[in-house]
A and B are shown apart, each in its own frame.
Chain A
Amino acid sequence: EVQLVEYGGGLVQPGGSLRLSCAASGFTFSAYSMNWVRQAPGKGLEWLSYIRSSGDSIYYADSVRGRFTVSRDNAKNSLYLQMNSLRVEDTAVYYCVREGDSGSYAPHWGQGTLVTVSS
């Protein structure tokens, strides 16, 4: 069974940094591209970042480019999101998402971790 578990969320002050991690299990992590998606309280879904299975191709949403950095460690079956220069509007639940077997739709989501940016 595919499992994705995010951790590292919490309360941080504006301008601060936080590193999210996603532990993957139940599949060959190195074979799949991964994404981060977030959801602000009461709002819709916002895609943030994509990283190819090998890590050699990375994309970001305009809202986080230059502040967030995605990475992965295929040996540790782990995905990361380094978040710097955090803003109040970055407050959201952050989801780790695995692509499908035949395309970049998203059949597998973690339960999410809440990041709150507040003074």
Chain B
Amino acid sequence: DFVMTQSPDSLAVSLGERATIYCKSSQNVLYSSNNKNYLAWYQQKTGQPPRLLIYWASTRESGVPDRFSGSGSGTDFTLTISSLQAEDAAVYYCQQYYSTSYTFGQGTKLEIK
């Protein structure tokens, strides 16, 4: 089974600064036949369902600000928010969809310092 481990569990970043969240998969999520990483990132604010930010590890969902970017391949991935805005305070999750037993990371709580 896949285990997705995010780090850190929480972080506080000042407005306008960069925030970086890491996600490590216990197994490779890169599918060799299409060279795609089956990894997504979500943002969840209190009382709301998750919102898809990034899929295929680096493709930004429509409507997501370009300050959000995803990178990585294989087992190690990063979500970067280049210039933190107040509305970015939330919990962020990574998810693998390589296996049909989709697995989420434990979440990273991002606060404004």
The answer to whether A100 has its CB under 8 Å from any CB of chain B is yes
Which of A35, A104, A110 has most chain B Cβ within 10 Å?
Answer: A104
Pick out which of these stretches binds chain B: A20-28, A40-48, A67-75, A77-85: A40-48
**A47-B104, A50-B100, A95-B49 as given contacts; A106 in contact with B95, CB under 8 Å:** yes
Interface residues on B, range: 20 to 34
Q: Assess whether B101 is in contact with A103, with CB atoms less than 8 Å apart.
A: no
Q: Which residues between 24 and 58 of chain B lie within 8 Å of chain A, taking CB atoms?
A: 36, 38, 40, 42, 44, 49-52, 55-56
Q: Which residues of A contact B101 (CB under 8 A)?
A: 47, 59, 61
Q: Which residues of A contact B106 (CB under 8 A)?
A: 44
CA distance A104 to B55 in the complex (A): 9
Question: Which residues of A pack against B, CB within 8 Å?
Answer: 35, 44-47, 50, 59, 61, 95, 100, 103-107, 109-112
Q: 18 A-B residue contacts at CB 8 Å?
A: A35-B102, A44-B93, A44-B106, A45-B93, A46-B104, A47-B102, A50-B102, A59-B100, A59-B101, A61-B101, A103-B38, A103-B55, A104-B38, A104-B100, A104-B102, A107-B61, A109-B49, A109-B50
